[in-house]
Structure 1
Amino acid sequence: MKYTKTKYPNIFTYETQKGLRYHVRRGYFVNGDKKEFNKSGLRSLKDAQRILRDIEERIYHDEMDVNLELTLNEYWEIYSAKKEKTGQWNDTSIYTNAGIYRTMIKEKWGNLPLKKINRNDYEEHLAEMLGQYRRNSVLTSNRLLNSILNDAVKNGNLRQNKLSGIYLGESELEPLNKELKIDDFQTWIKTAEELLSTTHFAFVYLTIFGLRRGEVCGIRFMDVTFDSNNRAVLNIRDSRSNRTKDGAGRTKTESSVRYVVLNDRGSELLLQIMETAKQVKKKADVIVEQEKDYLSIRIKNNKYYLERPAFLNKIFKRVSEECGIYITPHIMRHFFTTQSLIAGARPEDVMHFLGHASLQTTKQYTHIKEERAHNVTDLFDKKVL
């Protein structure tokens, strides 16, 4: 193909059977290597000038070696894979964020190029979502989408996150009430004790001490010791979710590794759980390696099974339906936090106890071990139990 120069740099013409066409050729460098952009088939000088302006702008912004045409779905695959590979998301986080993306983001925005996600359209969409979901759910999906777009900006696949700082109104749905009165708590616990088997009640009782569902299901024989007063001391260092039912080998975050001290009743019930687990293994004739020797097990047709973590939610639902007071394992965690602070526990101690401290604070906590955990349990026990 013979190209003829025009008076405009980097723009050429050439003849075709259908008439005159324009061609754009522009050299540029990427990491010291010379490359060349070429575009043919342009029908007018105006089209050629527009293409050239776009290329000049991309060169100016150092964007020639990145893909600016990625859709949100395509970038989500890059983003989520990176989060998993770098360890920023554990198995539970991967599962949770994938669910949020699939149910609240993908259908509306997934097939759009990143650069075409419009602020006005998104604001209208947020308003629609607030009519269908609670505000916290919409807030969570908004944070995830903004995190994806911010990452795309940092990697050069998007020039600007147009959704940054967007206003989020109020939901038409009432937020879930996570407040639990002491009277309701005591009624619920009494119902649970009357309704459930001793072992199932024991698992419920463990959540009173602010343990996450996955942490309750992640307790192994090796994680239990007893102090001089025969109170159980739990070393929380593993977790099981529905996605990692065989064990994650770690907690939700590094700061979640901690010690939790049970009261006398909790210690007695934990011994019941341990004895039941021993009987299950004996009846099923199995020997389990120490790192996988979880307490939350069952037997069916003389076979040994790990309980799915969702079993705890089913137990809670059964009790809630019986007494008419709605409580989940997570609400129990909120209740423990609130009542411990009301009872006079230091906020720092409660944060350590719950595993919400920073990594630096957690490292300090591993040295003092049980002292703060005893203090929080004593105050909560005197006020509530």
Structure 2
Amino acid sequence: MPKWEPLKNKPNIYRYKNNGDKKYKYGVRRTYQLVGQKRKEFTKSGLKSASDAKIVLDKFNADLYADKIKPKNQADMTIGQYYEEMKELKFKSGKWRKTTVHVSNLYFKKYIKNVFSDTKISKMNRADYQAFINSLADRGLSKAYIEDINGLYQSIMNYAEYNDYIVKNKIQHIDLPDGKAPKSMTLEKEDYEKWFRTAKKVLNPYYYSVVRLLALGERRGELLGLRYESFEKLSNEDTGRYKILFDRARNPIAKNGSDLKTTSSYRYIIANQDMNEDIENVLFLSKKIRLSQKQTIKLDDYVVVSIGTGLPMAPVYINKLFFKVSEACNIRIHPHMLRHYFATVALQNNINNISVMKWLGHAKPEMTDKYFRSNESSILAVSDEIHGKF
């Protein structure tokens, strides 16, 4: 193969001689990258002059910028192949976090891979997909699960349409079955109070106060992301209450800390004075535990730690603490139920749903309204309000 020599001041244009040739021939080499594709090279050889090469190069550049250059065999890509490319692009662009990638991989591997991974994206059939979605309900999945799986699949197809892999996403606006009823998030006041009385008996003081902090309605990962600098005691007026800043999370994927779920999740709350004792318990005992385990105590160190190691508490251990209390009093409560209970109590006491939305870190008031769970207290509140008005 003849050696191509680049021409000075003429990027991407080369000259070369074949064996036995007296005159040079000219060629073009131009690397480029389409969305969702690896880097490629456009090559054209056998041109008679540098001017001819420039014409070919200019034509290619014009087509490239006009989005007329399409990947070869794009219709032959499979759902699995396109998912991998889409995932990589979304992660590199910052649209997907590590946790999003992890959850998406779980959904794809468990529910989609064996059914559609080898299906060409251009051959996706609406009837087959509807049958697949219906089968998820038959397997006992809840509607929320089915919506999440469908959301991932629709993302794959929409991204394919956007990038011209297919003309149209043929499975959009699919009919979703109801699926299994979701687990009840309803929690009665009596059960709530009994559960915490039991927690105080069966948990040590430090772990009890850690669990109590979740009564403020934050997410489990937000609790675990609190550092010493996240707490500020306010001294204005006679409040002496604590301001708590939520700006980092810890979860099974981001054990060392990560960004919060959404922009609206970045917020602070001011806890009621009733929480002062538990907040101060957590701060004091956390430092004591860290010192006993020869750990640091810096402003940026995590507050919620394991008693045995002084290291940041594993996310699953919060669930174990809840399970221990639930077993002792036979009232099943998990961390997220306290978030729903907080929203329910706040809304039934006529606190503006926008205020509750901001406290919980929701992006939309509609999400906050969904967190309301009608329990006996809320029903009696309505009954008292309308008594004697008919």
Normalising to structure 2: TM-score of the pair? 0.72
Aligned to 2:124: 117
Answering whether residue 249 of structure 2 is matched by residue 243 of structure 1, we say no
Distance (Å, rounded) in 2 between the aligned partners of 1:276 and 1:327: 25
Aligned to 1:265: 274
Aligned to 1:27: none
Distance (Å, rounded) in 2 between the aligned partners of 1:245 and 1:34: 45
> CA 1:153–1:35 in structure 2 vs 1: closer, same or farther (change >3 Å)?
farther
Query: Structure 1 residue aligned with 2:294, among 285, 288, 296?
Result: 285
- Secondary structure of 1:68's counterpart equals helix
Bigger proportion of residues as strand: 1
Aligned to 1:319: 325
Alpha carbons 1:213, 1:329 under 8 Å: kept: yes
Distance (Å, rounded) in 2 between the aligned partners of 1:34 and 1:208: 61
Distance (Å, rounded) in 2 between the aligned partners of 1:163 and 1:68: 16
Aligned to 1:337: 343
Shift of 1:200: 1.3
Shift of 1:304: 3.5
Distance (Å, rounded) in 2 between the aligned partners of 1:189 and 1:348: 28
- Secondary structure of 2:283's counterpart equals helix
Distance (Å, rounded) in 2 between the aligned partners of 1:332 and 1:286: 31
Structure 2 counterpart of 1:324, which letter? Answer: N
Aligned to 1:75: 82
Shift of 1:347: 0.8
Query: Structure 2 residue aligned with 1:149, among 138, 153, 157?
Result: 157
Query: Structure 2 residue aligned with 1:256, among 265, 285, 291?
Result: 265
> CA 1:294–1:64 in structure 2 vs 1: closer, same or farther (change >3 Å)?
closer
Alpha carbons 2:262, 2:363 under 8 Å: kept: no
- Secondary structure of 1:235's counterpart equals strand
Distance (Å, rounded) in 2 between the aligned partners of 1:125 and 1:352: 38
Between Structure 1 and Structure 2, how many residues are aligned? 300
Distance (Å, rounded) in 2 between the aligned partners of 1:125 and 1:262: 47
How big is each residue's C-alpha offset from its partner over 1:106-134, in whole Å with a ceiling of 9 and x where there is no partner?
A: 22111211122211111111111101111
Alpha carbons 1:202, 1:266 under 8 Å: kept: no
Range that drifts further, 258-267 or 125-134 = 258-267
Shift of 1:299: 4.5
Distance (Å, rounded) in 1 between the aligned partners of 2:272 and 2:200: 17
Distance (Å, rounded) in 1 between the aligned partners of 2:310 and 2:206: 16
Alpha carbons 2:90, 2:96 under 8 Å: kept: yes
- Secondary structure of 1:259's counterpart equals strand
Aligned to 1:131: 138
Alpha carbons 2:290, 2:311 under 8 Å: kept: no
Shift of 1:217: 0.3
- Secondary structure of 2:75's counterpart equals coil
Aligned to 1:349: 355
Distance (Å, rounded) in 2 between the aligned partners of 1:141 and 1:357: 22
Structure 2 counterpart of 1:151, which letter? Answer: Y
- Secondary structure of 1:94's counterpart equals helix
Answering whether residue 183 of structure 2 is matched by residue 176 of structure 1, we say yes
Structure 2 unmatched runs, 5+: 1-32, 35-40, 45-66, 365-380, 382-390
Query: Hey, which bits of structure 1, 4+ residues long, moved more than 6 A?
Result: 33-36
Structure 1 counterpart of 2:324, which letter? Answer: R
Alpha carbons 2:295, 2:311 under 8 Å: kept: no
Query: Structure 1 residue aligned with 2:227, among 220, 226, 234?
Result: 220
Query: Structure 2 residue aligned with 1:185, among 192, 195, 200?
Result: 192
Normalising to structure 1: TM-score of the pair? 0.73
